């Protein structure tokens, strides 16, 4: 007979669970069924750090704690690895939110116990919950589980409360994700993606001193999809590497074209996704572009976000060293947006620090700088100066902000006050005007 139990945890196997759930759905009476799907965030870290034996032990204990004391439990299974699903009877007097709160509380208590008993400080339990009521008893059990799993994936991205109720709108989000990830390669080949350029200005002269390449996706119907919408999705699927390489190639081509025509050019910075740290082929790709286009290395810069440095300092260091060897500069992007670690500035050999636009954006004061922000900005700029790191402030939208940055000695500025990111042709005009000494501010 085929084994119906999972050997490690003693729970049902997933196929067996679905069979039982199907029967339970048919039997359902004056209550509903909650599908509670939980997994352990950072479980891989436990396995990698303490070994599989410790991981298995933890998993057994987790199973025991997650299923114990649940009087309404109907069935439970290990779907795979550290993914546990459980079906539980819920009285119709209890709201969905109350169920979520109970599960959330239980998860937090478990985390606390694991922290104390197993020194597993980083461990976090993430749960997604979906419901099957009497009305939707024709719902396929596997769909109910996949709904809870979808909510669990969203829970895993959350910082605090890692417990989320399924909502049918989530399916729309997934559809969109599939649409984006499945059409990206074709969109690149079909010319739907374009590189826009946003000028960077030198504070003392308000002349152009560089630009940042930012990608734009324009659908055939003219609609734009902005990076914030699609980059997180393709970062997860790893396709961001393909997109970044496309952007780098376009930028190299653009610079080489300007040089061939003997036109002035400024250094262009490109963004580096965190996904590159997994593969590190970026260095050989960039080298191949230098070999092909023969442009000066100081005309290309790389922007790595502060988070990349914090998440993986060693790899980030290797990457910076590799890029420096080729003669390019590296900046720390979005500085101050996350868990800024000031000591990173002295540990990493970065050339430019880009202060995040959050410092300048304040709806309450209508973009007038708050006193506290002023103090922080000027301290960071002082510190950068002492460390001989070039300072750049992004998100400059008003003349007051620009004047203040000049006053405190921020070397470079970038923002809508000077120009939005613009298509290549417009950017060429911008550069030509700047080098000819014309007026630049497009208010």
**Residues that bind ligand C2E in the complex, under the rule CB under 6 A:** 198, 214-215, 226-228, 231, 240, 244, 247, 271, 273, 333-334, 357, 394-397, 415-416, 421
Q: Which stretch binds Ca ion (CB under 5 A): 8-16, 248-256, 301-309, 372-380?
A: 301-309
- Residue 61 is encoded by which pair of tokens? 């204990």
- Residue 34 is encoded by which pair of tokens? 């909650």
Q: Which of 39, 250, 301, 303 binds Ca ion (CB under 5 A)?
A: 303
Would you say 19 or 216 has its CB closer to ligand C2E?
216
Give the angle subtended at the CA of 180 by the CAs of 174 and 184, to the nearest 5°.
155
141 binds, among Ca ion, ligand C2E, none (CB under 5 to 8 A by kind): none
Q: How far apart are the C-alpha atoms of 121 and 114, rounded to whole Å? A: 8
Going by DSSP bridges, is the β-strand pair 268-272/300-305 parallel, antiparallel, or unpaired? parallel
**Residue 413 contacts Ca ion per CB under 5 A:** no
Going by DSSP bridges, is the β-strand pair 207-218/268-272 parallel, antiparallel, or unpaired? parallel
* Cβ contact 248:288 at 8 Å: no
CB of 19 to ligand C2E, least distance (A): 45
**Residue 306 contacts Ca ion per CB under 5 A:** no
CB of 29 to ligand C2E, least distance (A): 51
299 binds, among Ca ion, ligand C2E, none (CB under 5 to 8 A by kind): none
Query: CA 205: distance to chain centroid?
Result: 36
201 binds, among Ca ion, ligand C2E, none (CB under 5 to 8 A by kind): none
Would you say 63 or 271 has its CB closer to ligand C2E?
271
Burial class from Cβ neighbours inside 10 Å (0-12, 13-18, 19+) for residue 212 reads buried
Q: How far apart are the C-alpha atoms of 345 and 379, rounded to whole Å? A: 13
Would you say 82 or 333 has its CB closer to Ca ion?
333
CB of 227 to ligand C2E, least distance (A): 3
CB of 395 to Ca ion, least distance (A): 8
Would you say 46 or 392 has its CB closer to ligand C2E?
392
Site for Ca ion in 236-295 (CB under 5 A): 271
Exposure of 372 in the CB half-sphere (CA atoms within 13 A):
4
Q: How far apart are the C-alpha atoms of 150 and 167, rounded to whole Å? A: 9
199, 203, 413 from 398: Cα distances, Å = 15, 14, 11
CB of 250 to ligand C2E, least distance (A): 9
What are the residues binding Ca ion (CB under 5 A)?
271, 303, 333-334
């Amino acid at each position: 007979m085929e084994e119906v139990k999972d050997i490690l945890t003693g729970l049902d196997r997933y196929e067996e669970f679905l069979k039982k759930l199907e029967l339970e759905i048919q039997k359902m009476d004056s209550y509903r069924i909650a599908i509670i799907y939980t997994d352990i965030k950072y479980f891989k870290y436990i396995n990698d750090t303490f070994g599989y034996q410790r991981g298995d032990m933890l998993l057994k204990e987790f199973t025991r704690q997650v299923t114990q004391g649940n009087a309404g439990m109907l069935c439970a299974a290990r779907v795979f690895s550290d993914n546990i699903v459980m079906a539980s009877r819920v009285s119709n007097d209890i709201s969905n939110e109350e169920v979520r709160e109970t599960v959330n509380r239980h998860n937090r208590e478990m985390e606390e116990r694991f922290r104390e008993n197993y020194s597993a400080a980083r461990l976090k339990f993430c749960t997604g919950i979906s419901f099957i009521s009497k009305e939707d008893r024709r719902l396929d059990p596997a769909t109910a589980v996949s709904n809870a799993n979808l909510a669990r994936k969203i829970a895993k991205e959350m910082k605090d409360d890692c417990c989320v109720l399924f909502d049918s709108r989530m399916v729309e989000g997934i559809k969109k994700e599939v649409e984006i990830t499945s059409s990206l390669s074709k969109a690149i080949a079909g010319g739907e993606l374009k590189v826009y350029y946003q000028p960077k200005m030198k504070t003392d002269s308000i002349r152009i001193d560089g630009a940042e390449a930012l990608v734009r996706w324009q659908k055939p119907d003219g609609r734009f999809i902005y990076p914030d919408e699609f980059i997180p999705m393709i970062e997860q699927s790893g396709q961001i590497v393909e997109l970044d390489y496309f952007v780098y190639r376009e930028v190299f081509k653009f610079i080489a074209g300007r040089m061939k025509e003997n036109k002035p050019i400024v250094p262009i910075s490109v963004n580096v996704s965190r996904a590159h740290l997994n593969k590190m082929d970026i260095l050989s790709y960039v080298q191949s572009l230098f070999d092909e286009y023969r442009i000066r290395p100081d005309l290309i810069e790389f922007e790595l976000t502060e988070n990349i440095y914090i998440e993986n300092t060693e790899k980030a260091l290797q990457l910076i060293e590799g890029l420096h060897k080729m003669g390019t500069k590296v900046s720390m992007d979005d500085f101050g947006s996350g868990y800024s670690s000031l000591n990173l500035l002295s540990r990493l050999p970065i050339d430019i620090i880009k202060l995040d636009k959050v410092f300048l954006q304040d709806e309450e004061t209508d973009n007038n700088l708050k006193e506290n922000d002023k103090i922080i900005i000027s301290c960071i700029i002082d510190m950068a100066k002492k460390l001989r790191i070039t300072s750049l402030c992004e998100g400059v939208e008003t003349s007051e902000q620009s004047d203040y940055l000049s006053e405190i000695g921020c070397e470079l500025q970038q923002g809508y006050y000077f120009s939005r990111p613009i298509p290549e042709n417009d950017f060429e005009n911008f550069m030509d005007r700047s080098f000819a000494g014309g007026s630049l501010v497009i208010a």
